[in-house]
Amino acid sequence: MDQAPSIPITAGPQLRAPGYIPEVDALRGIAMTAVVAIHSGILPFGWMGVWAFYVISGFAVTTSWLAQGRGRSAARAVRDFYRRRALRIWPLYFAYLGLAVGWLAWTGHRGWIQDLPWLATFTFNMRMILVDWSGPEAWTGFGHLWTLAVEQQFYLVLPLVLLLPSRRMMVWALVVLAVAAPAIRHVAATAALGAGWGEGRAAFAAYALAPAHFDAFAAGALIALARHAGAIRPRAAHLAAAAAALIAVAHVGAFLALGIARHGVGTEALRNIVSGILVGDGREVTVYLLPVSAAAAALLAILAGRRWALAPCRVPGLQAMGRVSYGGYLFHLPVLMALQALLPFAAFGVPGRIGLFFVAMAVTLALAAASHRWFESRFLRRSGAQARDGKAPRPAQPLAA
């Protein structure tokens, strides 16, 4: 993360200058809300929030890299990149692991011993793909950390792209990553099925394999390159929104028609249309394009200054939620687990799940805000970033994952 001043959101060449855009933080707030909602049992497609995080992360880290200029040596550029990433992600992540492992050891759990090497090396997504992770020894409070492994694995690839000698080559490399990802999803699912894996496990292979989702990060990185070149225009935002709508209509329409053909008109025909862990009939290829295209369109619209995108991102509190969304994402699952153990939310059906969501959001945001202010900000300052406290007109927290 790197310090940058706030700039107005307008279209045109002035977008060449890097700067903090609070509406992008609002997108993070929306993404986090969706994730908490799905884990509360009230938003079946809330998994899409993770893919929105991926797009925003690709945009943010590429923006940070470009803001440093091209005068550095390759070695220094890579060193600075990984230093900022480590200071942003690692302190809270390993603190979370330490607290969780301490509690698990104290309460007599032992399943974490098998998970710890994978968690510590950011390869937990592969642990969940290659090993049956759903056994009774597993602690589900680690279940969401595979997404951070996917992100860290993308960071091994991105510097190789951004060190290419020309912008055109960077663009083509990112396009290749974006085009290859859906094919990788299909190959992963097909190979898993061919190896005798069940449909659920094969679908998870496509769901959690890092290169299978580099299209999301690449989309954000491409937007960052366009912004740096001053190439963001309202027309591009409108075209991206139209493309996202077309992708959604085509996917839903095609699989709804397939469901009706197989099961007739009814709720069964609606199954497996927008669930995140899907395999068969090419679902694993297209379903992830929905959140990626939608998040990319929203990001472009914000950068182009479109009021229809800016207005919802200025809902009071949403930007503040986004600024602490990393901690919120880490904390939300154990918060939900604790609340469900303490109070009988499930006994009240849908109203109980809605109540669980609101209580979990309140507790999660309180913990995340405290963590950001008294723990994470110490490392952000060391990385060259100025932590934002939301009270004084100091430089705002810059774009970072």
For residues 25 and 319, the answer to whether their CB atoms sit within 8 Å is yes
**DSSP code for 268:** G
313: left (phi over 0), alpha (psi -120 to 50) or beta: alpha
User: Containing H/E element for 176?
Assistant: helix 167-194
Q: What is the pLDDT of residue 18?
A: 52
- Angle of helix 74-106 versus helix 48-67 axis, rounded to 10: 140
From 143, 261, 134, select the one nearest 198 (Cα to Cα). Answer: 134
Return d(Cα 187, Cα 209) in angstroms, integer.
11
CA-only gyration radius of the chain, Å? 21
Q: What is the pLDDT of residue 9?
A: 34
Q: Could you tell me the two tokens for 21?
A: 């855009």
Return d(Cα 34, Cα 42) in angstroms, integer.
9
Is 186 in a helix, a strand, or coil? Answer: helix
* Burial class of residue 87, CB neighbours in 10 A (0-12, 13-18, 19+): buried
- Angle of helix 74-106 versus helix 112-120 axis, rounded to 10: 170
Amino acid type, 150: V
Q: What is the pLDDT of residue 109?
A: 81
Residues 6 or more apart whose CB falls under 8 angstroms from that of 97 comprise 116, 119, 120
pLDDT in tens for each of the 401 residues of the chain? Answer: 333 333 333 333 333 335 689 999 999 999 999 999 999 999 999 999 999 999 999 999 999 999 887 778 899 999 999 999 999 999 999 999 999 999 988 988 877 788 899 999 999 999 989 986 555 556 678 999 999 999 999 999 999 999 999 999 999 999 999 999 999 999 999 999 999 998 888 999 999 999 999 999 999 999 999 999 999 999 999 999 999 999 999 999 998 998 898 888 877 778 788 887 877 788 889 999 999 999 999 999 999 999 999 999 999 999 999 999 999 999 999 999 999 999 999 899 999 999 999 999 999 999 999 999 999 999 988 866 543 333 333 333 333 33
pTM of the model: 0.90
